Amino acid sequence: MGLDQYAYSEDSNGERTEIAYWRKHNRLQGWMENLYTDKGGMEEFNTVDLELTLEDLDMLESTMMNKLLPQTGGFFYGPDSYKDYEDQDGYKSDDEMFINKAREELNNGNKVIYYCWW
């Protein structure tokens, strides 16, 4: 058990394609939780869809590049995900690939959805 995070592209027919997956990236989860609340989300942020816009991706990229993703704890979240953030196999490269792919999907007219389960 633990925090599993996904990003999907959704086309006009509602068909979803996974474009990113993270395991226990608690700082990204904290950022997404804050975005969910800022957008008016009131449920517990678990197994709910969060639609992302180009503006959201720009904010995420800026936050990420400035190393300002919030420290976030949770029983299922694992250790701080900044410990090895910039290592070769760290989360930073996954985050960069996700942002690029998500922008491409939005530019193609698809939705981008973040979803987590813990």
CB atoms within 10 A of CB 17: 11
Mean pLDDT of all residues belonging to the chain: 92
**Domain total in the chain:** 1
- Dist. CA 27–CA 39, nearest whole Å: 18
Q: Quick: pLDDT tens for 57-72.
A: 999 999 999 989 998 8
The domain containing residue 21 runs over which residues?
4-117
- Dist. CA 42–CA 26, nearest whole Å: 20
Question: At 100, phi and psi to the nearest 5?
Answer: -65, -45
Mean pLDDT for the stretch of residues 69-79 = 79
pTM for the predicted model, two decimal places: 0.90
Is residue 51's pLDDT more than 80?
yes
Q: Quick: pLDDT tens for 15-27.
A: 999 999 999 999 9
Q: Can you list the pairs that 62-67 forms with residues at least 24 positions away whose Cβ atoms lie under 8 Å?
A: 63/31, 64/92, 64/95, 64/96, 64/99
What per-residue confidence (pLDDT) applies to 88?
64
